[in-house]
Amino acid sequence: MIKPHGADELKPLFVYDTEQHHALNEEAEGLPSLLVNSAAAANAVMLGAGYFTPLSGYMNLADALSVAENLQTTDGLFWPVPIVNLTNDVSGIGDAKRIALRDPNVEGNPVLAIMDIDAIEDVSEAQIDTMAENIFGTLDPEHPGVATFKGLGNKLLSGSIQVLNFSYFQTDFPDTFRTAVEIRNEMVERGWNKVVAFQTRNPMHRAHEELCRMAMDDLGTDGVLIHMLLGKLKPGDIPADVRDNCIRKMVELYFPANTVMITGYGFDMLYAGPREAVLHAIFRQNCGCTHFIVGRDHAGVGDYYGAFDAQTIFDDKVPEGALDIEIYRADHTAYSKKLNKVVMMKDAPDHDKEDFVLLSGTKVREMLGQGIAPPPEFSRPECAKILMDYYQSLDK
């Protein structure tokens, strides 16, 4: 199986030893605590789950700036997005070197992790802007990623962490949330060696379904890892439980047994386009996947990125040998009326726009809200039913 990024073995920061876990929870109750923001909490979950191997905790300012500007830490580790713990208020910490990080997303704010503080650094507005502009390619406050990042705070806490729980992801999504450790173990159990990963924050329509099939066929893989984001999204995006139901129904009815793993990961969407695509590739390599599908406007939002910027970044900014995972480059996929099947549009040069079944996201949402199923060439009727029920429930 493919090696993790920057290490021979996964480095999950979750404390699995029962006695040590209990002792740390008891210790945490006597430590100064910091209520982290959702972004820092999601970083802790990803670190705990092994997705961010080989990182040992939150980056310091020098590393965060180096990653933002040069896609590598100060010691040369290739990494596309700063993994930071930013906050506005450190008054409750004092001069403590060891603190409890508390979860903002769970009632009662339980301890999420214990952190050994290496440094607390002031970050200037100019430095925040430098990071934001490099990560997102813009400083437009209307960009949801920029708005979130610039609101995290200007006190940066760096240091290693020991993770004690996986926030709400394990309890809210017990059948779907999986750590990188668990995914690797299941691949071994299934006898999978060559695996392609598919990233999604949306329900999967016919085009996505067929794209997974195309990738499996073209690459000759043992299976596909459908890996959905379970964390925070921008307003208007479809909730994770609804997406989960759609994807499970599609796989149950339309894929052969033992060809698909349906899983999810505990992270908030960044909407960082190309940079986020590279981060996605890294943690899919850490899951054990050999290939990763990068499609049109991958991890994008609005019109901030070119249609294939998330593919060209792997040519322009990822050094040779920096990643072991290989990228499967996908064009826009749609149902061809001429060929009676879903195709990549680049593979149908003799087609006009009218030869495809094309619907905008806005049009699909309008149809679903009115109880009208999109055409079966666009969406499986069983999946459309789940989405119609969801959209119609919003009006009640």
Residues designated catalytic: 201-202
Per-residue burial over 161-192, b if 16 or more Cβ lie within 10 Å, else e, is bbbbbbbbbbebbeebbbbbbebbebbeeeeb
- φ, ψ of residue 101 in degrees (nearest 5): -95, 125
Q: Which amino acid is at 280?
A: H
Q: In whole angstroms, what is the distance from residue 132 CA to residue 341 CA?
A: 41
Contact 81, 63 (CB under 8 A): no
Sheet holding 356-357, edge to edge: 341-344, 333-336, 356-357
Cβ of 249: how many Cβ atoms within 10 Å? Answer: 16
Q: Rg for the chain (alpha carbons), in Å?
A: 21
Q: In whole angstroms, what is the distance from residue 280 CA to residue 258 CA?
A: 24
The DSSP secondary structure of 264-318, one letter per residue, reads EE-------THHHHHHHHHHHHHHT-SEEEE-TTTT--TTSS-TTHHHHHHHHTS
**Under DSSP, is residue 97 helix (H, G, I), strand (E, B) or coil?**
coil
What letter does residue 175 receive in the DSSP assignment?
T
Q: In whole angstroms, what is the distance from residue 40 CA to residue 268 CA?
A: 10
Asked if omega into 375 is within 30° of 0 (cis), the reply is no
* Structure tokens given for 140: 């437009």
Contact 260, 228 (CB under 8 A): no
**Under DSSP, is residue 106 helix (H, G, I), strand (E, B) or coil?**
coil
What letter does residue 3 receive in the DSSP assignment?
P
